[in-house]
Amino acid sequence: MDLRLSESFPDGWRARLVPMPGFEDGLALEPVDMAVTKVAATARSRWTRRMGRGGVDRGMKDIRTIVSLIRGGRMDLAVLQKRLHGMDYEPALIVECAQVMREIEALLA
């Protein structure tokens, strides 16, 4: 794991690391912590595109992954929302994250 990225992880992420099957010393983000970073990355890429700075909308792949994890019982939507709300993002990113969460909720309905 590249610890330079850890500033985008929710508080307490280190305590929630999970072992990676097949790797003796490998640890990975717990699924909800991973989902928070995916929601934020999707929101950031969409905001960047809207501001005319280029980039690719990678969002649907990440959104579908999150929806699959929730449907499969590997993640709880309420926990995802709570951790996402605990992040210290700039206002524009908060708005974009809310839109991404609405898309996730619509696919779960």
Render pLDDT for 45-99 as a digit per residue (tens, 0 to 9). 888 887 877 666 667 899 999 999 999 999 999 999 999 999 999 999 999 999 9
Q: Which residues, including other chains, have CB under 8 Å from residue 15's CB and lie 6 or more apart?
A: none
Output DSSP code: residue 24: S
What CA–CA distance (Å, rounded) separates 57 from 59?
A: 5
Domain count for the chain: 1
| Domain interval for residue 36 | 3-108
Q: What is the pTM of this model?
A: 0.86
pLDDT of residue 3: 55
What CA–CA distance (Å, rounded) separates 35 from 13?
A: 12
What CA–CA distance (Å, rounded) separates 34 from 28?
A: 9
